[in-house]
Amino acid sequence: MKLFECQNCGQLLYFENRKCERCGHRLGYIPEQNLLSALEPRSETWVAKADPDRHFIFCANADDDVCNWLVPADSSEIFCMACRHNGIIPNLSTPANLLAWRKIEAAKHRLIYTLLRLDLPLSTRGQDREHGLIFDFLADDGPAAMTGHDNGVITIALKEADDAERERRRTEMGEPYRTLLGHFRHEVGHHYWDLLVRDSDHLQSFRALFGDERDDYGAALLRHYEEGPQPNWQQSFVSAYATSHPWEDFAETWAHYLHIVDTLEMAASFGLSVRPRIAGARNLEAVFEADPYGPGDIRALIDTWLPLTFALNSLNQTMGQPDVYPFILSPEVIDKLEFIHALVRNDARPQSQRVDQDVGANLPI
């Protein structure tokens, strides 16, 4: 994620901003250009100051203040590139559901931003009925809604948008970290395992690093919840949950890869650097200049990521808050991150190969 700038007045802008607080201009995000633009109204459309030759409309979900993304005015679509992936949304006649959906959409849009920046395959269900990516946001007004993934269908339980409930679940499950964005990044890892690993030449390399995914998944999860992780698991896994099964190890490591590239982009956008004023801490110096989404090896990313996390964790502790990044990246975990880094760089599909037509989105329940 990066910072943006108002084209009308130069004010600093954030990804979710709807209006420039200095000049009052309406703002909209143009995903094809990775630009948050000030807008001028033109009849029933908007002209972006960042691209004055084009006319746009807002995504239909802007009406519920859950989206600030733009759609070309001459498109047949009414939903933006992020919201076309919605399947089931909560019943909006319940005010609490709308508030929860807004939180969920903020996290989902950040996920889609990253997937677009990585140029990953991003078909909707309308484009690919078998493997397209679709999100169902489920309320607990029937069977207990569970967060998970099933062949491209990612389900997010609406309860996860309740901060108190999510913290209760985090504590109950002994997790050091649990966020909406983390859920999205983890579950989409399962989706990309299906797309990029399962039927590919990468499968044997995956098994050498992560283990054999043919091991009984249900039995592995049951064993994990009954017995807990193996001793000294931190030497080989990024989280305790990653020890449960190779699929979960991949999804957890994938999520951390997205944590790293997105956070490093924001650090670079702020022009941050880390230079501890202790002579023996030279190995913790880092300047955040390179684009983490650009070319380069995983070691360069890790060499800047570790100093940043040490600094952020230390700052949080001074405020009496838990660590921002309560994880250890062992050499084996870095090898797994390197696998994902190479996978993303080798298997990303150019934007021109993506189909831009779709059917249906936002099916309320």
Mean pLDDT of the region 47-62: 96
Determine the residue type at 282. Answer: R
Confidence of residue 346 (pLDDT cuts 50, 70, 90): confident
Confidence of residue 358 (pLDDT cuts 50, 70, 90): very low
pLDDT of 283 strictly over 90: no
- Among 61-75, 136-150, 300-314, 345-359, which is the least confidently predicted range? 345-359
- Among 5-9, 173-177, 210-214, which is the least confidently predicted range? 173-177
Q: 153-201: per-residue pLDDT in tens? A: 999 999 999 999 999 999 999 999 999 999 999 999 999 999 999 999 9
Share of the chain above pLDDT 70, in %: 94
At which residue do the structure tokens 């890892």 appear?
Answer: 189
pLDDT of 288 strictly over 90: yes
Q: Distance (Å, rounded) from C-alpha 4 to C-alpha 266?
A: 11
Q: Distance (Å, rounded) from C-alpha 363 to C-alpha 68?
A: 19
Q: 243-256: per-residue pLDDT in tens? A: 999 999 999 999 99
Confidence of residue 106 (pLDDT cuts 50, 70, 90): very high
Q: 306-321: per-residue pLDDT in tens? A: 999 999 999 999 999 9
Determine the residue type at 364. Answer: P
| pLDDT computed for residue 320 by the predictor | 98
pLDDT of 357 strictly over 60: no
pTM, to two decimals: 0.93
pLDDT of 360 strictly over 90: no
- Per DSSP, the residues of 184-253 read HHHHHHHHHHHHHTTTSTTHHHHHHHH--TTS-HHHHHHHHHHH-SPTTGGGT-SSSGGGS-HHHHHHHH
Q: Measured between alpha carbons, how far is residue 219 from residues 2, 214, 225 in Å?
A: 42, 12, 10
Q: Distance (Å, rounded) from C-alpha 310 to C-alpha 169?
A: 26
pLDDT of 355 strictly over 80: no
Q: Distance (Å, rounded) from C-alpha 197 to C-alpha 215?
A: 16
Decide if 132 contacts 125 (C-beta within 8 A): yes
